[in-house]
Each structure stands twice: as structure tokens, then as C-alpha cells.
Structure 1
Amino acid sequence: MKQFDVPVFYRSPLISAIKRKRKEKDKLKKDFSPTFLDFGPVQIYLARHFGFCYGVENAIEIAFRTIDENPGKRIFLLSEMIHNPQVNKDLLSRGVHFLQDTHGRQIIAFEDLTPQDIVLIPAFGTTLEIEQKLNSIGIHTEKYNTTCPFVEKVWNRSEVIAKKAYSIVIHGKPTHEETRATFSHAAFNAPSVVVKNMAQTIELSKYITGEKSPGDFYTEFKGQYSEGFDITRDLDRVGVVNQTTMLASDTQAIADYLKQVMIEKYGLTKENLAERFADTRDTLCYATNDNQTSVSEMLETSADFAIVVGGYNSSNTSHLVELCEEKLPTYFINNAEKILSPDEILHYNFHTKQELLTRDFLPAHTPVKILMTSGASCPDALVERVIEKLTAFFKESSPLDTMVEHFL
């Protein structure tokens, strides 16, 4: 896989050594067991796969190279490059400006742009409408487009099945940048509808089976279907794609559920299933799968609590938190500074969108056993700082340099 030129300040000597050693021993990525870091009074089980994915490293490389190669030019980001506060802060500190916030609200008007300006498309991609608007101004985004190749893969798969007269069901968060972009590309080629979760999928299926009145669809799914969507016709043949950062198991469950609905309604068999339902399993992102599988495997280890590091508005990170919360106390933090002391930690509840202060989070006994992972947009350097801060609370802990040498 291609190696990217990511700024060294995002790297971690410890994490790099660990990942290199694990890759040498497991080239085919069949071993998803966590990496055991024994610091003595603190024992950390690090997920097999975590941190920057291919798409994120690609986006960061393009963004920083663009800044270096265009001194004096105005450079804009359409919205956050990725959902990590440090990376976005670093880009802003280098003179980059955001045109929109993560919800698509305008910060700087498109009318203020000139053909000489540079606009970076973030890793999530963008809508066809925004792309056309920028092109009409004279800004050509091809050279500065950091859209993740695996997001583009979903768009391409949508186009392929659209040409075979399937409608597109998108599993994603309707307001998320990636889902808005995927919806725009899908809707250009076929009738499309977004479902947030299994609950919405079950309700959508009732329009397929006729259990619900067709007219109710347009109220229930307001803002989530393409223009001209005909509920009486456009769910006769469907394919399911996803926002790549959703739980892969959830997307698969949604696809399986809709497939069964089609089988039962139309009396389909394995031989003629494709008449009504498209196979789209190949659109699930490898990094999302690997990170989530790694967390599931890590959770087989008994521990006192879990720490997940990443941006609070990061979808893929929140799903890792969700998995951990099912098994043990979990603290979602975006940097080491949130660990205020050996007694207090400030962490994020992504369900209520609030930071919470928890006291006595470290147990009285030793060794303290901690499970740890991070989101796909989180620099490894942040994970190392979290490890460093935790181990520093215990005087008897082995130094990080010693642990690095262990993996060299």
C-alpha cells in the first residue's frame, strides 16, 4: 500500500514501532488480537488496527503539500479536512480558511472566491452541486480533491447499480458531510433514500410491503429522499450502500433485512434474487472493518476501562466508543489534556453531546488494565501522549523509551 508523506509531528515513535512489528509478523492481517504493553503498574492493551487510515493520510499529504507549493495564494477548505480538531487547527494556523462548517452552513460566501483561489475538497468528498458551483467560479477542484478513494468507491458502485435500474438505499447520518456527498452522487443517477439505522430501515420496509400508506413516506423521511422519489415505484429494486464510517455490522444487518423483505414480498430464490436486490457488500471500507474488528477482539480481554481517542464529531470514532461501552466503562477523549489528574478525567458523551467530569476513574488496585484505541482521523502522536500521561501517574512505570526498544 502507498506510503504517504504525513508531517512528522503526527507520528509516534512508540506507535510506529508497534505497527511495524505487528505488520512484519502478520502481513495478511489475520491476527486481530491487541498489542500488550506492560508498564508494570499500568498494563495497556492496544487495538491491532487504529489511527490514520489510507484516506486520511492521503488527504493530509495533499493539504500540506498544497500549502507548501502555493505561498501567497488564498487557500480554502470546503469544510473540516477530517474530523480531528488538531489536524484542522494545524491547517488553520497555516492560513487555510473554512468555507463551511461540518453541517454545510456557509462561513465564507462562494461569491467572495476568485478563479485564482484554491479550494481543497475534504476526505468526505462533496456534493455535485457544490462542485459545479466552484467550477462555475473558475475554481477547478480536481488537483486539490482529497476525497477518500473508498468513498469514491461507494459512489462508483452506486452508479453501476443505478444503471441496472436499482434505487439506492444509503445507510448513514443524513447531516454528515460524507452522506450528503454520497446522496448527491447517488441521486444524480437513481432514486435514493437515506436511512439512519435499523429502526428507520424497518419503517422504510413497511412502504415496500404496503403496511404503511404511501403518502406518509414523504413526511416520515423528509429531507432524506431524492427529488421526484416515487414511493409506489422506486423501492421495487434496491441496493444498499453506506457512509463508510458507520458500523459495518449495522450496514450488513440493514442490507440483510431489506434483502429478506424483498425475498418474502416477491417470492425470490437465490437464483433470481438479483432481479430485486443488488449485492453491494464490496462497498464496506477496509479501515472501518479492520478498526471495528480489532476493537471487538480487544474487548475479549478483561480490563478496568477503555479509552478511545479521537475527534468528538468523528463518526467512525463514536462507533468504536459504542462498541466499547457495551462491555466496560469507556472514556472518549480528544487529547491527553482531558486526563486532568490521577483522580479526574473529562470525557465526551456522544449520545448527549456533552463533556462529563468523572472522578476516581483510576482503580485503587494495580496493575491497572486499560483497553485503548483511536479513530481513523486521530494522529498516533495523540495516542502516545495519552499513554505517557497515564503511565506518569505511577512512579514505578517503565519509561516509554524502553517500550519502544521492545518493538524494534
Structure 2
Amino acid sequence: MKTFNVPVIYRSPLISAIKQQRKQEDRMKKDFTPTALDFGPLKILLARHFGFCYGVENAIEIAFKTVDENPDKRIFLLSEMIHNPHVNNDLLDRGVRFIMDTAGNQLVPWEALVPDDIVIIPAFGTTIETENHLASLGIEPLKYNTTCPFVERVWNKAEQIGKKNYTVIVHGKPKHEETRATFSHSQSNTPTIVIKDIREAEQLAAFIKGEGDPETFYTLFKGQYSPGFNVATDLQRVGVVNQTTMLATETQAIADYIRQVMIATYDLTEETAGDRFADTRDTLCYATNDNQTAVTGMLQEAADLAIVVGGYNSSNTSHLVELCEEKLPTYFISAAEHMVSAHAINHWDFHHKKELHSAHFLPEKEQVTILLTSGASCPDALVEGVIRRLLSFYQLEHKADELVTI
């Protein structure tokens, strides 16, 4: 796989050494057990896969290269490039400005832009409407494009099945930048609807089966379907694609469920299911899948708590938190400094969008075991910082330096 020129401030000699050793031992990436770092009174079980994915490294390389090569130009990002505050703040410090926030609210008026300005499309991609608007301002919309190739693969799959007269069902968060972009690209080819979870899939199934009042559909899914969507005719042939950072298992469960609904509704067989349901399983992102599977493998081990590191508005990171929360006390932090001491931690409750303060998060016992992972937009340097911070609570920070030479 291609390697990228990512600023050294995001790299970690410690994490690089650990990842390199795991790669040598497991080149086919079939072993999802965690890496055990045993420091005596503290044991850290580090997920097999975590941190920057291909799409994030690609975006970072393009963005920082663009800044370096254009010192005399105004440079804008449509919105946050990735969902990590450290990376975004580094770009802001370099003079880059955001045109919109993550919800799509305007921060810089379109009329303030001129043809000589540089506009970078973030890793999530953008809508066709925004691309056209940039073009109308005399700005080449795709010249500085950091859209993740795996997001573009979803768009391509949606276009392929759309041209075969399938309606596209997008599993994603309706307000997320990536989902908005995927919805825009898909609806340009075929009727499209966004569903956020299995509950909405079940609600949609009632209309597929002809059991729901059509008017109820337009209320239930307001703002989530393409213009002109006809509930009576546009749910007869469907396919499911996803926002690449969703829980891969949930996307697959939704696809399997909708497939069975189509089979039952239209009296199909496993062999003829394709007449009504398009096979789209190859839109699942490898990094999302690997990171989530690594957490599942990590959770097979006995531990006292889990720590997940990443941006608080990061979808892929929040899903790792969800997985950990099912089994253990879990602390979602964006950096090491949120661990105030061995007795106090400030962490994010993404369910209610608020910061929590917990006391005595490290149990008092002979050996404390912690599961540790991070999101796909989180620099490895931040994970190393968390390890060093934890070690400092036991006066063992020097042990981190010894691991660099493994």
C-alpha cells in the first residue's frame, strides 16, 4: 500500500515500533489479538489496528503540501478536513480557513471567495451542489481534492446500481459531511434515502412490504430522501451502501435484513434475490472494519477499563467507544492531558454531547489492565502520549523509551 508524507509531529517512534513488529508477525492481518505491554503494576492491551487510515494520511499529505507550495495564496477548507482537533488546529495555525462548520453552516461567505483562492475538499468529500457552486465562482472544485478513495468507491457503487434502476439506501448519519456528500452523488443518478440505524431499516421495511401509509413515510424520513421520491414505486429494487465510518457489522446487518425483506415480499429465492436487491458488500471500508474487529478481539481479554483516543466529533471513533462500552467502563478522550491524575479524568459522553469528570478511574489493585485504541483520524503521537501519561502515574514513564528499540 502507498506510503504518505505525513508531518513528523503526528508520528510516534514507540507506536511505529509496535506496529512494525505486529506487521512482521502477522503480514496477512489475520490475528486480531491486542499487543500486550506489561509494565508490572500497569498492563496496556493495545488494539491490533488503530490510528491513521489510508484516506486520512492521503488527506493530510495533500493539505500540508498545498499549504507549503502556495505561501502567497489564500487557502480554504470546505470544512474540517478530518475529525481530529489537533490536525485541524495545525492547519488553522498555518493560515487555512474553514468555509463551513461540520454541520454545513457558513463561516466564510461564498461571495468573499475569488478565482485565485485555493479551496481544499476534505476527506469526507462534498456535494455536487457545492462543487458546482465553486465552479460558478471560477474556482476549480476538484484541483485540491482530499476525498478518501474509499468514500469515492461508495459513490461509484451507488452510481453503478443506480444505472441498473436500483434505489440506493445509505446507512449513515444524515447530518454527517460524508453522508451528505454520498447522498448528493447518489441522488444525481437514482432515488436515494438515508437511514441511520436498524430501527429506521425496520420502519423502511414496512413501506417496502406495502404495509405503511405512504404519507407517513414522508413524515418519518423528512429530509432523508431525494426530491421526487415515490414510496409506491422507488422501493421495489434497492441496494445498501454506507457512510464508511459506521459500524461495519451494523451496515451488514441492515443489508442482510433488507435483503430478506425483499426475498419475502417478492417471493424470491437466494438465487434470484439479485432481481430486487443489489449486492453492495464491497463498500465497507477496510480500515473501519479492521479497527472495529481489532476492538472486538481486544475485548476478549480480561481488563479493568478501556480508553479510546480521538476527536469527539469523529464518527468512526465513537463507534469504537460504543463497542467498548458494552463490556467495560470506557473513557473517550482526545489527548493525554484529559487524564488529570491517577484519580481523575475528564472524558467525553458522545451520547449526550457533554464532558464528564470521573474520579478514581484507575482502580487500586496489584495490576491494572487497560484496553487502548484510537480512531482512524487520531495521530499515533497522541496514543504514545496517553501511554506515557499512564506510565507516569506509576513512576514508570522511562519504560516507554525501552519499547522503542523492540
Query: Could you state the TM-score of these two structures normalised by the residue count of structure 1?
Result: 0.99
225-234 or 202-211: bigger deviation: 202-211
Q: Does 1:3 align with 2:10?
A: no
Aligned to 1:194: 194
Q: What CA distance in whole angstroms lies between the structure 2 residues aligned with 1:240 and 1:397?
A: 48
Amino acid at match of 2:78: L
- Alignment check: 8 A CA contact 2:41 2:367 kept: yes
Q: Residue 143 of structure 1: SS of its match in structure 2?
A: coil
Once the two structures are superposed, what CA deviation does each residue of 1:151-182 show, in whole Å capped at 9, x if it has no partner? 00000000000011000000000000000000
Q: Which moved more, 1:90-99 or 1:395-404?
A: 395-404
- Aligned pairs (5 A) from 1:143-292: 143-292=143-292
Q: Secondary structure at the match of 1:399?
A: helix
Determine the structure 1 residue equivalent to 2:133.
Answer: 133
Output aligned runs, 1:252-401, within 5 Å: 252-396=252-396, 399-401=399-401
Unaligned runs of 5+ in 2: none
Superposed CA offset, 1:16-55 (max 9, x none): 0111111111111111110011122111000000000000
**Residue in 2 aligned with 1:118?**
118
Whole-angstrom distance in 2 between the partners of 1:142 and 1:396? 49
Distance in 1, matches of 2:295 and 2:210, equals 40
Deviation at 1:308, TM superposition (A): 0.0
Shift of 1:249: 0.3
Q: Alignment partner of 1:123: what SS?
A: coil
| CA–CA distance in structure 2, aligned partners of residues 228 and 18 of structure 1 | 53
Match of 2:18 in 1: 18
Runs of 4+ in 1 over 3 A off after TM superposition: none
Aligned with 1:347: secondary structure?
strand
Secondary structure of the residue aligned to 1:262 is helix
1:44 maps to what in 2?
44
Aligned length: 406
CA distance in 2, matches of 1:85, 1:396: 29
Instruction: Report the counterpart of residue 103 of structure 1 in structure 2.
Output: 103
Code of the residue aligned with 1:309 in structure 2: it is: V
In 2: Cα distance, 1:254 partner to 1:271 partner: 20
Q: CA deviation at 1:72?
A: 1.3
SS of the aligned residue for 1:373 comes to strand
C-alpha deviations, 1:167-207, integer Å up to 9, x for none? Answer: 00000000000000000000000000000100011001101
Q: Secondary structure of the equivalent of 2:331?
A: strand
Counterpart position of 2:63: 63
SS in 2 for 1:331: strand
Percent of aligned positions with the same letter in both sequences?
Answer: 66
Distance 1:77 1:119 in 2: 6
Letter matched to residue 357 of structure 1: H
Which residue of the partner structure matches residue 404 of structure 2? 404
What is the Cα deviation at residue 143 of structure 1? 2.4
Q: Which amino acid aligns with 1:158?
A: A
Distance of 2:122 and 2:39 partners within structure 1: 39
**Cα distance in 1, alignment partners of residues 272 and 362 from structure 2:** 57
Q: What SS is found at the alignment partner of 2:383? A: helix
2 CA distance for matches of 1:310 and 1:29? 23
Matching of residue 35 in structure 1 with residue 25 in structure 2: no
Contact 1:41 1:396 (C-alpha < 8 Å) held by counterparts: no
Specify the code of the residue in structure 2 equivalent to 1:149. P
Q: State the distance in 2 between where 1:208 and 1:331 align.
A: 40
Q: Contact 1:125–1:178 at 8 Å: present in 2 too?
A: yes
CA distance in 2, matches of 1:266, 1:178: 33
In the TM superposition, what is the alpha-carbon distance from 1:397 to its structure 2 partner?
Answer: 5.9
| 1:396 CA drift (Å) | 4.8
Letter in 1 for 2:220: E
Counterpart Cα distance in 2 of 1:312 and 1:146? 21
Q: Is the 8 A contact 1:166 1:238 kept in 2?
A: yes
Structure 2 CA distance for aligned equivalents of residues 33 and 313 of structure 1: 27
- Give how far 1:398 is off: 5.2
Write the letter of the residue equivalent to 1:377: S
Counterpart AA for 2:125: G
- Which whole-Å CA distance do the structure 2 matches of 1:270 and 1:254 have between them? 17
Q: What is the Cα deviation at residue 379 of structure 1?
A: 0.2
2:103 alignment partner AA: H
Displacement, 1:141?
2.6
1:236 Cα shift?
0.2
Deviations 1:332-362 (A, max 9, x none): 0000110011110000011011100000011
Q: TM-score, normalised by structure 2?
A: 0.99
| Whole-angstrom CA distance in 2 between matches of 1:39 and 1:259 | 49
